[in-house]
A and B are shown apart, each in its own frame.
Chain A
Amino acid sequence: METRSEPAIVAEGLVKCFGDVEAVRGVSFQVPEGKVLGLLGPNGAGKTTVVRMLTTLARPDGGTARVLGLDVREQAQQVRDIIGLAGQYAAIDENLTGRENLRLVGKLTHLPQAEIGARADALLERFALSHAANRVARTYSGGMRRRLDLAAALVHEPPVLFLDEPTTGLDPQGRNGLWDVIENLVEGGTTVLLTTQYLEEADALADNIVVIDHGAVIAEGSAADLKARLGATVIEVGFRDDADATTAAGLLASVGGVDREGKLVHVSVPSGNGAGSMFDTVRALDDAHLEPATLLLREPTLDDVFLSLTGHAAEEAEGDDDDGDGAVKTRRSRRARRQAK
């Protein structure tokens, strides 16, 4: 194959209609090789339809798309050779065992007969399913099914992977496990496009985020970009009485935009300099001998971004509390480490 200069996935003006409804209205984006793109949007935004077009399951009514330089319409069969797809529902045969499911995909992707068994066993091992390898998939838990489904998408070692809401319906533990697997794949050089309605998921895994709503792209950039552009850092200062809060509100106008609600003062400051603004706030309060009861810095979340883009909140992420911000931060630093390498 000649050297390709273009990104691993290129979508140009994709359009898909169902009857009179334009489900996807001219979606364009690119995913560089070895990177993760998060396609973010609420239910019904058109995420799945975009994935179906890119994976040759649906024919675009307009626009073009290429995966590793291959046209999804004209070279569909070659595209299928180099992609893996794990859809919203675990697409596994419930009456086959875990091993049989993977062997079936091995046969259908034309791996050499002698290697299919070893490949299946390696994947079962990697996805912590070895103990259940000979049990029919009907007996698997939701998390095990998802892992088997993802393993099935990886049997032929596709360099490009499409994951449609990979963690929907999983408990926090299952979600963490799947995130680990995806990160490992990306470290191994796989290009990943994942759709999600969980902001924290896009935040944790994706190098780049494309936000779509009503079938069109409404924003694009890294999580940090989007937050810097569309969200604001807020310093929240709480006081013991309203009088202190009123005095402080006057003083802190020099730091940023002030908004007082009873004993609470919110100061909106430019994103990216939260610590500096925090320092200014503390100094201003100290100079006036005002002692705050609470003081916290809230960095913008993708929720804020989504709200400011669409005017409505994104789907509530389930298990937010159990999963905790701590987990998300660990992920973020992991991604940073990956990028530093």
Chain B
Amino acid sequence: MSAVDTTTSATAARRAPSSRGHVVSDSIAIVWRNLINIRRNPELLVFATVQPVIFVVMFRYVFGGAIQGSLPAGQTYINYLMPGVFVQTIVFGALTTGVGLADDLNKGLIDRFRSLPMARSAVLVGRTGADLVRNFFVVMLMCVVGFIVGWTIGTDFARFVAAFLVILAFAYSMSWVFAIVGLSVKDAETAQAVSFPILAVLVFASSAFVPVATMPGWMQGWARNQPVSVVINAVRYLTIGPSPGLSAASVPKAIAWIVAIIVVAAPIAVARYRKAT
């Protein structure tokens, strides 16, 4: 019995005191856990890789002919389309952040994490971080497929990289939005059901697939200024270059949206996590 006591106190002494200093190491542990989950969960892997590839190919060949006519002169649909498909994919992918958290909550894993002396923000930072890693590979893969079906960069390598970063940053901000949804509902199915209308309004009432000018007047104000359109326009500007309807101003506007979304959503999500029941 005394042997056990000694081990207990010895272990306690060797353990680093728990404090905010663990945010980074705790978050990395959660990232590791979530990445293993993605790797071992075939559904997630398919959602993350096959679906975006199909989207690129389908939109390119199915809608390409119909929409080409309404594009500003000199633009090809594939170059117009790719930024839209990127952003559409990562916004839909952000849903998995919420679904994953709802699932953890439902299975009691969030309770386990909350009962451990770990940093309060680590579960969310780790979850959104793992989703960022996943998005990195998804966007890479889509770039490759895009190049195969005829996508071209009209600017230079630096602007291409900037476009890539804008897409990832926007993906990260959307993960935080859907983290709030995931922590507010009772299970993964509900998270999916609740998220879908939000996604539809964001993605389809945007410039992702068709020019905003073809939409009814009352919708254009929203469609032109909402974050998905602004980010897509910034990515178009960075990959196509200056052309009618695309201006350099969309880039700072997109960054402003991304920062604003994270600044608002992250604290709400962490507060939800703290008192999740």
Write the residues of chain A forming the contact surface with B, with a CB cutoff of 8 angstroms. 52, 55-59, 77-78, 80-83, 85, 87-96, 100, 104-105, 107-112, 115, 136, 152, 156-157, 159, 187-189
Contact = CB atoms under 8 A, between A and B. Distances in A.
B111 interface: yes
By secondary structure, the B interface counts as helix
B183 to A, nearest CB: 14
Given A59-B275, A80-B116, 5 more contacts: A57-B111, A108-B113, A112-B15, A157-B8, A188-B4
A157 B12 contact: yes
A111 to B, nearest CB: 6
Interface residues of B, number: 37
9 contacts: A104-B29, A105-B116, A107-B26, A108-B26, A110-B22, A111-B15, A156-B15, A157-B8, A189-B1
Contact of B109 (A52, A78, A80, A91): A91
A55 B115 contact: yes
By secondary structure, the A interface counts as loop
Interface string B102-123: 0000011101111111100010
A107 B25 contact: yes
B111 to A, nearest CB: 6
A96 B33 CA distance: 8
A77 B22 CA distance: 12
Nearest to A18: B277
Contacts of A94: 107
Contact of B37 (A92, A93, A156): A93
A111 B108 contact: no
A77 B33 contact: no
A324 B15 CA distance: 44
A136 B26 contact: no
Contact of B40 (A88, A91, A95): A95
Nearest to A80: B117
A112 B29 CA distance: 14
A57 to B, nearest CB: 6
A93 B38 CA distance: 12
Given A87-B112, A109-B117, A159 B8 contact: yes
A108 B118 contact: yes
B16 interface: yes
B42 to A, nearest CB: 11
Contact of B112 (A81, A152, A159, A189): A152
B117 A77 contact: yes
A157 B115 contact: no
Select the residue from A105, A109, A152 with max chain B CB neighbours within 10 A. A109
Contacts of A187: 1
B214 interface: no
A116 to B, nearest CB: 10
Contact of B36 (A100, A107, A152): A100
B29 A188 contact: no
A91 B277 CA distance: 14
Contact of B15 (A89, A95, A100, A109): A109
A88 to B, nearest CB: 8
B15 A110 contact: yes
A104 B122 CA distance: 13
A159 B9 CA distance: 9
B210 to A, nearest CB: 39
A85 B112 contact: yes
A56 B33 CA distance: 24
Contact of A91 (B32, B41, B111): B111
B112 A109 contact: no
B45 to A, nearest CB: 12
